[in-house]
Amino acid sequence: MEIAFHLKKFKQIKNPKFFFKHIKKFYGEKIKSLYNNYDAFFQYEGGIYIGNEFCLHLLPTADELKKIEDKNTKITLLTPPLTNKGLKKCAYLLDHLIKFNKPQVVVNDWGILLFIKKNYPKLKISAGRLLNKAFKDPRLSETQKDKFFTSSTFDNPNFCKLIKSLGISGLEQDILPYQNISEFHIKEDTLQSFYFPFGYITTGRVCLTALLQKNKANALAIADKCAKPCSSRLLELKNDSFLFSVFQKGNTVFYLYPASMLEAFVEKAKNKNIRMVYQGDIF
Amino acid sequence: MKVTAPISSIKEIEMLIELGADELYCGFNTDTWQKKFGVCKINRREPKGACINSELELLCIVKTAHKNNILVSVAFNSPFYTAEGISYLLTLIEKLIKEISIDSVIISDINLLIALFKKKIPINIHISSLGNCFNSETAAFYKEFGVKRIILPRQLNFYEIKEIVKNTDKKIEFEVFALNDGCYYEEGFCLTSHTPEAFCMTEYQLENSEFAKKKTEERKLKNLKKELNSYLWHQNNCGSSYQKNGFPNGPCSCCLFGNFKDIGISALKIVGREASFYRKMTSLKMVKTVLDKAASGAGNKEIAEFAKKMRNTEKYCDTGYVCYFGAGNISDK
């Protein structure tokens, strides 16, 4: 198992254990086994993730990419679903990304996949979380047990054949909120990347947090530009029917994995062909 | 442009034909599905009220529709089915083609699409708005699987739609939302359920997270929630209300019908399989009235003004919260 870090702004990770201090923000001392067994769990470095899967405004600029001097940095660019205009913006970034050694792009719509295959055939491609549909409603009654709640698009054998035919080499996903970790099957033939400590529930182009930058009423709309008030803000959605903690970050709603779930997952996944992507830095 | 209207009961067909629906779409549910896979809604809506629940009723609808040259699509547009669920759906779809002669299926699950394609099932495939076609490359991707029509997602603006249509093979048809039922999140990315109510309509408290780097002032938080509630109310058909003239309130793209015609949109969708007979009737009347204006040779600006006047809900239109595709902000109407 390897570990990668999704960073808000690029910086070299000199000591990967930096995240110990960071993740304590979310769990305190509850996941001690993760701290204590870091070297046993994470044998390899999965590199740096930049960009964003949910919002075009959170993509890095080409200048930010240019500033990364070490072109051997193992780098993954997360891309959101894109309009035709967004594809053009992203192409400018991809022109710089290909200068790195074996860069990877995470795609979250089928169009950008085709676009990359046509125009940047050497880029490694991974299928993003937004392509992986599953049930994540936080209001489910705990008594309901069904395969529907513990499987997803990526589990279907037809999908696995499709991604091979399309040259997709990785699958990005969340630990599903109703997943029974002991029954969870880890695929060995494709690199699977699991994000932590948050999984996503829902998203859209209309951003509640962006409203903070606007003074006028009636301002909930798809924005052409954004001052990114989400960079420092995190809101919690509270309702008695929610079975786990639910948060709004920018335009997206997330759930925080319970400590026991994360610990059990990491224990099960150690020594497997798995990447854990730490995303706490962007929250 | 054709008008695609929802139907959930044989009782509605005469009215829909009489008022000029060009195409119909419906949900279909079976007892077997309910027993075996019921936790996953067969088409994202409740079986009761939003679906046809008997083969005989569906057969009657399709026969009557065909006699009137109207095509019928059946939605199996849950974003995700298990492999067993897909296997069941393939058999069901084949049966509906053979015994009932349905014309097309509306789907969004990529694995169901692959399965239909691989099995070469002879049916027109429409990609649901939940298939998230945000660009012309995605349209090209779907074309490879033999897709005939793509229903574009709600959260595009008119110019983005124009770019998609312009850059896509003309063999692909595009359908857009004309009226009713907005969505705060993009439905194709929303992994929640509409049962017991839509997740976005669940009343929750909005608070600063203890993990936030920067706290938002309480006053601003209250304003956010207030604005969100206003947005949701408008998107939810203005509290499912109606005008004095009987026309329904809620999101629409009526003032863009002229522009849609210009760029080659094939069909306009009226949302609301679960809507009442009355709402379906008044929705269709309204859409047809604006479309007739567009067909009469009126200019786009004239169509837009006509639509806005007919809706007679200036205060709602002015919020922008009842506009599909940024309709209120399109300058070249």
> Which of A:5-64 have CB within 8 Å of B?
25-26
Nearest CA-CA partner of A85 in A224, A249, A228, A263: A224
Please provide the average confidence, as pLDDT, over all residues in chain A. 91
Shortest Cα distance, chain B CAs vs residue A5, angstroms: 18
Stronger pLDDT, A217 or B192, i.e. the higher one: B192
Longest dimension (CA), chain B: 64
- Look over chain B and give the mean of its residue pLDDT values, rounded to a whole number: 95
pLDDT at A143: 63
CB B263 within 8 A of CB B161: yes
Lowest mean pLDDT of A91-100, A215-224, B219-228, B247-256, name the range: A215-224
**Cα-based distances in Å from A207 to A223, A231, B15:** 8, 13, 40
Average pLDDT over residues A2-6: 92
Q: Would the CB atoms of A83 and B114 count as touching at under 8 Å?
A: no
Q: In this complex, is the C-beta atom of A221 within 8 Å of any C-beta atom belonging to chain B?
A: yes
Torsion of CA B278, B282, B283, B289, to 10 degrees: 160
> Where exactly are the structural domains of chain A?
2-200+256-282
CA distance A93 to A205: 21
Q: What is the DSSP string of chain A?
A: -EEEEE-SS----S-GGGHHHHHHHHHTTTTHHHHHTHHHH--EEEEEEEE-SS-GGGSPPHHHHHT---TTS-EEEE-----HHHHHHHHHHHHHHTTSSS-EEEESSHHHHHHHHHH-TTSEEEE-GGG------TT--TT---GGGT--GGGSHHHHHHHHHTTEEEEEE---TT--GGGPPPPSSSEEEEEESEEEEEE-SS-SGGGGG--SSS--S--SS---GGGT--EEEE-TT-SS-EEEETTEEEEEPPHHHHHHHHHHHTTSSEEEEE-GGG-
Q: Is the pLDDT of residue A151 over 90?
A: yes
Residue A145 has pLDDT above 80, yes or no: no
In angstroms, rounded to a whole number, what is the distance separating the alpha carbons of residues A90 and A239?
Answer: 38
**Can you tell me the mean pLDDT for A173-198?**
91
Q: For chains A and B, what is the number of CB pairs under 8 angstroms?
A: 206
Residue bearing the bigger pLDDT, A29 or B230: B230
Residue with the bigger pLDDT between B146 and A223: it is: B146
Per the model's pLDDT, the better-predicted residue between B301 and A213 turns out to be B301
The sign of the dihedral angle between the CA atoms of A268, A270, A272, A274 is positive
- Chain A contact for B95 (CB, 8 A cutoff): no
Among B210, B216, B215, which Cα is nearest to A25's?
B210
C-alpha neighbours within 13 Å on the C-beta side of residue B136 = 16
Highest mean pLDDT among A207-221, B36-50, B166-180: B166-180
Q: What is the pLDDT of residues B273-295, one digit of tens each?
A: 999 999 999 999 999 999 999 99
Tens-place pLDDT, residues B5-57: 999 999 999 999 999 999 999 999 999 999 999 888 899 888 888 999 999 99
Best to test chain B binding among A112, A185, A220 (most B CBs inside 10 Å): A220
Q: Is B193 on the interface with A (CB under 8 A)?
A: yes
Query: What domains lie within chain B, and their CATH numbers?
Result: 2-329 (3.20.20.70)
Helix B136-143 with B158-166: angle, nearest 10 deg: 50
pLDDT of amino acid B291: 96
Q: Do B191 and A201 touch (CB under 8 A)?
A: yes
Higher pLDDT, A282 or A130: A130
Q: How far apart are the first and last CA of chain A?
A: 24
Task: Give CA–CA dist A96/A91, Å, rounded.
Answer: 9
**E strand or H helix at B24, and its extent?**
strand B23-28
Q: What percent of chain A has pLDDT over 90?
A: 65
Q: What is the mean pLDDT of residues A153-166?
A: 95
What pLDDT is recorded for position B58? Answer: 98
For residue range A40-56, list pLDDT tens digits in order. Answer: 888 878 889 999 999 99
Phi and psi at A17, nearest 5°, equal -75, 5
Question: Picking from A5-19, B82-96, B129-143, B185-199, which range would have the lowest pLDDT averaged per residue?
Answer: A5-19
A198 touches chain B (CB under 8 A): no
Q: What is the DSSP-derived secondary structure letter of residue B217?
A: P
Within 8 A of A130 by CB-CB distance, chain B residues are: 132, 189
When pLDDT is averaged across residues A64-79 and rounded to a whole number, the result is 89
Cβ of A237 within 8 Å of Cβ of B228? The answer is: no
pLDDT for B299 equals 94
Residue B330 has pLDDT above 80, yes or no: no
**Quick check: B212 and A232 CB within 8 A?**
yes
Structural tokens at position B152? 């574009």
pLDDT tens for B304-318 read: 999 999 988 889 998
Cβ separation of A139 and B209 shorter than 8 Å?
Answer: no
Q: Mean pLDDT lowest for which of A85-89, A138-142, A195-199, B114-118? A: A138-142
- Per-residue pLDDT of A243-267, as tens digits, reads 999 999 999 999 999 999 999 999 9
pLDDT at A217: 64
B253-284 burial string, b = 16+ CB within 10 Å, else e? Answer: bbbbbbbbbeeebbbbbbbbbbbeeebbbbbb
Distance from CA of B328 to the nearest CA of A (A): 11
Question: How large is the ipTM?
Answer: 0.95
Q: Which amino acid is at A33?
A: S
Domain A2-200+256-282 has CATH 3.20.20: yes
Say yes or no to pLDDT of B329 above 80: no
